[in-house]
Structure 1
Amino acid sequence: MKNVFTALLMLCIVATSAQEINTEIITEDGRQMLVGQINLEGFQTEPYRNWFQNGQNNYGVDQTIVELFKEQLQSYHIKLFLGTWCGDSKRESPRFIKILEAADFPMAQLEIVALDYRKGHYKKSPTGEEKGLNIIKVPTIIFFKDGKEVNRIVERPLESLEEDMAQILLKKSYTPNYAY
């Protein structure tokens, strides 16, 4: 009986701590946006599919540069903060995902968080994944190694996503836009 109770308790804890993925809200003016944790499937629904697929289809990954950091990338955890309402996020996020795919990055090590833009919720997620990370512009791509932030790309790359990633992953000097 004790084992059954313990199993039920664990199941309840898991169920209540599970977060919804791909939560969509509709603003007062009828605009749709994703908020909170999202996965790649979230980009396959309308109205996100159009800009995401176009962004991926129209971007040519510089595979030569990707090969320089492909091996190092595997040991990183990445958090991508974006706004499905934001032009910079709509441009850079599909490109970034395409680069990760070209590098055979284990997508389980990628956390994608969509932030809100409504008054009172600006650049926040429903469950606060951005807290303490100084997210001032989106997209913000944060590279973590061994649980510590190594560096980030903020809003847009300085050179190209591949070149900026190479600088970060190969431990070269790199200062992102809007450095704090």
Structure 2
Amino acid sequence: MKRVSTLFFLLCIFGASAQNFNKEIITENGLQFLVGQINLEGLRSQPYSNWFQNRYENYHPDETMVALFKEKLADYNIKLFLGTWCGDSKRESPKFIKILETADFPMEQLEIVALDYRKGHYKTSPTGEEKGLNILKVPTIIFFKDGQEVNRIVESPLETLEDDMAQIVFEKDYVPNYAY
């Protein structure tokens, strides 16, 4: 009995501290979207897989370009802010994930945060990951090195995602859309 109580207690502690991923909101008019921290399983689940999976599978990264920045990219932590309700996020996020996987990027260094769509909560997350990061448009992809923001891609790349990522990783003069 003592072992069962101890096991139950430990499960409660681990359950309470576990990250809550893929929180879904369904509005009164039936609109579904994810909010807060999400993972690839969330994007590959219904109804999000309807747009994510097809765009992911049909995108073919520029492997020559990816090979140029692959090694340096691993030095970065990346935060991807998106809206599962947003056309730009639906277009760019699957391509970005495919590029990261092509580059063998350590996915534990990627944090994906889905922002809200509702009035009064617009472009926020339930746990506030966007606070202080000046998220104006989605998707916003922020590249961090040694805990400091290096640069970001906002809404869409200036050239291609691969070109823009290379500019950022090699710390070239890169000014994103909607620079603040």
TM over 0.5: yes
C-alpha separation between the residues in 2 aligned to 1:9 and 1:127?
Answer: 26
C-alpha separation between the residues in 2 aligned to 1:162 and 1:51?
Answer: 21
Deviation at 1:60, TM superposition (A): 1.4
C-alpha separation between the residues in 1 aligned to 2:75 and 2:9?
Answer: 34
Deviation at 1:16, TM superposition (A): 3.7
Deviation at 1:55, TM superposition (A): 0.9
Aligned residue identity for 1:118:
R
Deviation at 1:28, TM superposition (A): 1.3
- 1:99 maps to which residue? 99
Deviation at 1:18, TM superposition (A): 3.4
- 1:171 maps to which residue? 171
Deviation at 1:44, TM superposition (A): 1.4
Which residues of 2 match residues 138-157 of structure 1 at below 5 A? 138-157=138-157
C-alpha separation between the residues in 1 aligned to 2:79 and 2:56?
Answer: 19
The sequence identity of aligned pairs, in percent, is 75
C-alpha separation between the residues in 2 aligned to 1:9 and 1:68?
Answer: 49
C-alpha separation between the residues in 2 aligned to 1:128 and 1:14?
Answer: 22
- 1:54 maps to which residue? 54
C-alpha separation between the residues in 2 aligned to 1:19 and 1:29?
Answer: 29
C-alpha separation between the residues in 2 aligned to 1:14 and 1:171?
Answer: 40
Structure 1: stretches of 5+ with no match in the other structure: 1-7
Deviation at 1:43, TM superposition (A): 1.1
SS of 1:46's partner is coil
- 1:22 maps to which residue? 22
Deviation at 1:155, TM superposition (A): 0.1
CA RMSD between the two structures: 1.7
Aligned residue identity for 2:155:
E
- 1:86 maps to which residue? 86
C-alpha separation between the residues in 2 aligned to 1:147 and 1:10?
Answer: 32
C-alpha separation between the residues in 1 aligned to 2:173 and 2:17?
Answer: 39
Deviation at 1:10, TM superposition (A): 9.1
Deviation at 1:19, TM superposition (A): 3.1
C-alpha separation between the residues in 2 aligned to 1:174 and 1:110?
Answer: 21
SS of 2:168's partner is helix
SS of 1:112's partner is strand
- 2:159 maps to which residue? 159
Deviations 1:26-48 (A, max 9, x none): 01110110000000100111110
Deviation at 1:149, TM superposition (A): 0.3
Deviation at 1:24, TM superposition (A): 0.7
Structure 2: stretches of 5+ with no match in the other structure: 1-7
Deviation at 1:14, TM superposition (A): 5.7
- 1:111 maps to which residue? 111
C-alpha separation between the residues in 1 aligned to 2:99 and 2:169?
Answer: 14
The count of corresponding residues between Structure 1 and Structure 2 is 174
C-alpha separation between the residues in 1 aligned to 2:176 and 2:106?
Answer: 24
C-alpha separation between the residues in 1 aligned to 2:84 and 2:39?
Answer: 13
Deviation at 1:58, TM superposition (A): 2.0
